[in-house]
Amino acid sequence: MLEAELWDGAYYLAGFAVECALKACIAKQTLRHEFPDKKRAIESSSDELLPLVRLAGVLASFDLEQGLRF
């Protein structure tokens, strides 16, 4: 998409890939046959970056790499 200069599509798919990766980290924290907390399940259905980063447990890594504080 970048080579074809389809900037909007490339930007959208990059964000979607990050969202999927964070949700995979969240899912990995759930044990087999476990019912997750309702609040956690609702929060993980979000597509906003900050709540997903917090739930995935990568906030410290994100802070260090980006020099950001949330």
Q: 1-56: per-residue pLDDT in tens?
A: 878 888 899 999 999 999 999 999 998 988 888 887 888 888 888 888 888 988 88
Residue range(s) defining the domain that contains residue 13:
7-66
pLDDT of residue 3: 85
Q: For residues 60 and 7, give the distance between their C-alpha atoms in angstroms, rounded to a whole number.
A: 30
* Total of domains in the chain: 1
Section 49-65 average pLDDT = 78
Instruction: Assess if residue 1 is contained within a domain.
Output: no
Residue 9 · residue 1 · CB < 8 Å = yes
State which amino acid sits at residue 64: L
Instruction: Assess if residue 2 is contained within a domain.
Output: no
Instruction: Assess if residue 25 is contained within a domain.
Output: yes
Assess whether pLDDT exceeds 80 at residue 65: no
pLDDT of residue 62: 64
pLDDT of residue 2: 78
Instruction: Tell me which DSSP letter residue 70 carries.
Output: -
